[in-house]
Amino acid sequence: IDIKNIRNFSIIAHIDHGKSTLADRLIEKTGSLDKRQMKDQVLDNLEVERRHGITVKAQAVRMEYLYDGVLYELNMIDTPGHADFTYEVSKSLSACEGALLVVDATQGVEAQTVANLYLALENNLEIIPVINKIDLPTADIEKTKSEIENLGLDASGAILISAKNDIGTDKVLEAIIKYIPPPKINNEETLKALIIDSWYDNYKGVVCLVRVFEGEIKIHDRIMIFSNKKEYNVESISVLTPKPKEIETLHAGEVGILISNIKNIDDVLVGDTITLASNPAKAALKGFKKIKPFVYAGIYPTDTEKYDDLKEGLEKLKLNDSSLEFEPEKSDSLGFGFRCGFLGMLHMNITKERLEEEFGLDIVVTNPSVLYKVEKTDGSIIEISNPKDLPEPQFIRSILEPYVSIDVITPSEYIGSVLNLLQEKRGYQKNLSYLSANRCLITYSAPLSETITNFYDTLKSITRGYASFNYEFEGYKPSDLVKMIILINNEPIDSFSQIVHKDKAYAQAREVLAKLKEFVPRQLFEIRLQAKVGGKIIAKEEIKALRKDVLAKCYGGDITRKRKLLEKQKEGKKKLKQLGKVAISKEAFMKLLEPT
List binding-site positions: 16-21, 132-135
Partner that binds at residue 90, options ligand GDP, Mg ion, none, CB closer than 5 to 8 Å by kind: none
Residues 6+ apart with CB under 8 A from 351: 317, 321, 324, 340, 342
| Distinct helix (H) and strand (E) counts, the chain | 16, 34
| CA-to-CA separations, 520 to 474, 588, 592, 593, in angstroms, rounded | 40, 7, 9, 12
The minimum distance between CB 435 and ligand GDP, in angstroms, equals 19
**Which one of the spans 17-25, 113-121, 380-388, 584-592 is the region binding ligand GDP (CB under 6 A)?**
17-25
- Cβ atoms of 133 and 149 within 8 Å: the answer is no
The binder of 132, among ligand GDP, Mg ion, none, by C-beta within 5 to 8 A per type, is ligand GDP
Q: Are strands 335-342 and 249-250 parallel, antiparallel or unpaired?
A: unpaired
Within 17-36, which residues bind Mg ion (CB under 5 A)? 19-20
Does position 162 interact with Mg ion (CB under 5 A)? The reply is no
Should residue 498 be labelled a site residue for ligand GDP when binding is judged by CB under 6 A?
no
Closer residue to ligand GDP, CB minimum distance, 168 or 427: 168
Residue from the set 164, 204, 218, 388 that interacts with ligand GDP by CB under 6 A? 164
Residue from 7, 19, 354, 504 in contact with ligand GDP (CB under 6 A): 19
- 362 interacts with ligand GDP by CB under 6 A: no
Q: Torsion angle, CA of 197/199/204/207, rounded to 10 degrees?
A: 10
DSSP 167: B
Stretch that binds ligand GDP, among 128-136, 189-197, 199-207, 403-411 (CB under 6 A): 128-136
Farthest-apart Cα atoms in the chain, separation: 96
CB of 173 to ligand GDP, least distance (A): 16
Q: How many CB atoms lie within 10 A of CB 9?
A: 25
Smallest gap from Cβ 13 to ligand GDP, in A, equals: 5
Distance CA 565, CA 569 (A): 6
Of positions 70, 136, 537, 566, contacts ligand GDP by CB under 6 A: 136
Residue 402 binds which of ligand GDP, Mg ion, none (CB < 5-8 A, kind-dependent): none
Interface with ligand GDP (CB under 6 A), residue total 15
13 contact choice in ligand GDP, Mg ion, none (CB below 5 to 8 Å, kind-dependent): ligand GDP
Cα 310 to Cα 482: distance, rounded to the nearest angstrom: 32
Q: Which residues pair with residue 532 across a beta bridge?
A: 485, 537
Cβ–Cβ under 8 Å, residues 486 and 496 = yes
- Choose, by CB under 6 A, the member of 79, 86, 132, 323 that binds ligand GDP: 132
Q: Which is nearer to ligand GDP, 100 or 259 (CB)?
A: 100
Of the pair 130, 355, the CB lying nearest ligand GDP is at: 130
Residue of 101, 114, 131, 163 interacting with ligand GDP (CB under 6 A): 163
Task: Annotate 180-189 with b (16+ C-beta within 10 A) or e (fewer).
Answer: bebbebeeee
Return the number of the residue (19 or 192) whose C-beta is nearest Mg ion: 19
135 versus 541: smaller Cβ distance to ligand GDP: 135
Interface with ligand GDP in residues 20-49 (CB under 6 A): 20-21
Question: In 61-186, which ranges are continuous DSSP H helix?
Answer: 86-94, 111-122, 141-149, 169-179
Query: Does 139 help bind ligand GDP (rule: CB under 6 A)?
Result: no
Asked if 343 touches ligand GDP (CB under 6 A), the answer is no
Any residues with CB less than 8 A from the CB of 560 and at least 6 apart, and which?
none
For residue 323, which phi and psi values (nearest 5 degrees)? -90, -5
Find which of Mg ion, ligand GDP, none residue 46 binds, CB within 5 to 8 Å per kind. none
Q: Whole-number minimum distance, CB 80 to ligand GDP, in Å?
A: 10
Contact window for Mg ion (CB under 5 A) among 12-20, 326-334, 358-366, 548-556: 12-20
> What is the amino acid identity at position 546?
L
Q: Please report which residue ranges of 163-253 form alpha helices under DSSP H.
A: 169-179
Contact between 18 and ligand GDP by CB under 6 A: the answer reads yes
Contacts of 522 (CB under 8 A, 6+ apart): 543, 544, 545, 546
What is the DSSP code (8-state) at residue 3?
G
Cross-strand pairs, 488: 491, 529
The one of Mg ion, ligand GDP, none whose footprint includes residue 135, by CB under 5 to 8 A per kind, is: ligand GDP
Nearer to ligand GDP, 20 or 508 (CB): 20
Residue 116 as a binder of ligand GDP (CB under 6 A): the answer is no
Find out whether 485 and 324 touch, Cβ atoms under 8 Å.
Answer: no
Q: State the binding site for GTP.
A: 16-21, 132-135
The residue among 359, 366, 349 whose CA lies nearest residue 300 is 366
Distance of CA 288 to the CA centre of its chain: 19
CA 178 from centroid of its chain's CA atoms: 35
Nearer to ligand GDP by Cβ, of 171 and 218: the residue is 171
- Three-state DSSP at 301 gives strand
135 binds ligand GDP (CB under 6 A): yes
> In 3D, which of 32, 93, 74 has the Cα closest to residue 173?
74
Residues numbered 143-162 forming contacts with ligand GDP, rule: CB under 6 A: 162
> Which residue, 164 or 171, is less far from ligand GDP as judged by CB?
164
Question: Read out DSSP for 8-44?
Answer: EEEEEESTTSSHHHHHHHHHHHTTSS-TTT--S-HHH
Least separation, in Å, of the C-beta of 165 and ligand GDP?
6
Is residue 132 a contact residue for Mg ion (CB under 5 A)?
no
List interacting residues with ligand GDP (CB under 6 A). 13, 15-21, 132-133, 135-136, 162-164
List interacting residues with Mg ion (CB under 5 A). 19-20
